[in-house]
Structure 1
Amino acid sequence: MNPVTLYKAMADTTRLKAILLLQQTSELCVCDLMLALDESQPKVSRHLALLKQAGVLQHRKQGLWVFYRLNTNLPGWVHDVLQQTAVHNTAFIKCNLARLAQNPANTCC
């Protein structure tokens, strides 16, 4: 992972929020991300595909559902950047985390 690839991937608000949500929750399905981000399925899926293509995310399929998580092979410096971003910008995803908490049992999946 080179810095340009990472920063291009994070340069969009929806993608950055998705990354930070996944950092805090470890794994989410597309429907959870739709709820948290308050976006349509096509828009969320398009952003997730770009993050996967950039090497930031991995996915797994379980039946009809697709679950995303941060790529387990990301270098340490990427985790450090994401951690610092989350710690110093808690308000940035506060509403998104609150929306996600409305569905604690993952009833969409």
Structure 2
Amino acid sequence: MPPVAPDVPRPSRVAEPLTQEQSARIAAGFKALADPVRLRLLSLVASHLDGEACVCDLVGAFDLTQPTISHHLRVLRDAGLVESTRRGTWVYYRVVPEALTSLTTIIALPSVAAR
């Protein structure tokens, strides 16, 4: 495949094609976010006051049980989108910024100068 000419607009951080490993990791993130509940959970965790949220903070935003919310958070954690820390009986979740960067970088639209 021929390289892109230097003057062709493209996302600034996509300099080379993804490796097989990178594409598998990023696809897992997109797959996890393809569910509306998980997408909303990620946004709730990311926007939560200290940048982390407990399951107990999130359950009230959904008409779902705590075990169901925990399942969705586990899917996000398995995809590498959130990290968790246990404090007593509660688990606190925070977004992994590098994971979100890798997702947004691959779908970023090139910035095109005004024509």
The TM-score normalised by the length of structure 1 is 0.64
Residue 73 of structure 1 and its aligned partner are, at CA, apart by 4.0
Conserved in 1, the CA contact under 8 Å of 2:55 and 2:91? yes
Instruction: Decide which structure has greater helix share.
Output: 1
Taking a change above 3 Å as real, the CA distance of residues 24 and 75 of structure 1, as seen in their structure-2 partners, is: closer
Deviation at 1:80, TM superposition (A): 6.5
From 92, 96, 107, the counterpart of 1:67: 92
Question: What is the alpha-carbon root mean square deviation over aligned residues?
Answer: 2.1
User: Which residue number corresponds to residue 86 of structure 1?
Assistant: none
Q: Give, in angstroms, the shift of residue 74 of structure 1.
A: 2.4
Identity %: 35
C-alpha deviations, 1:69-105, integer Å up to 9, x for none?
Answer: 1125426343668xxxxxxxxxxxxxxxxxxxxxxxx
- Structure 1's unaligned 5+ residue stretches are 82-109
Unaligned runs of 5+ in 2: 1-21, 107-115
- Runs (4+) of structure 1 moved beyond 4 Å? none
Contact 2:26 2:102 (8 Å CA) reproduced? no
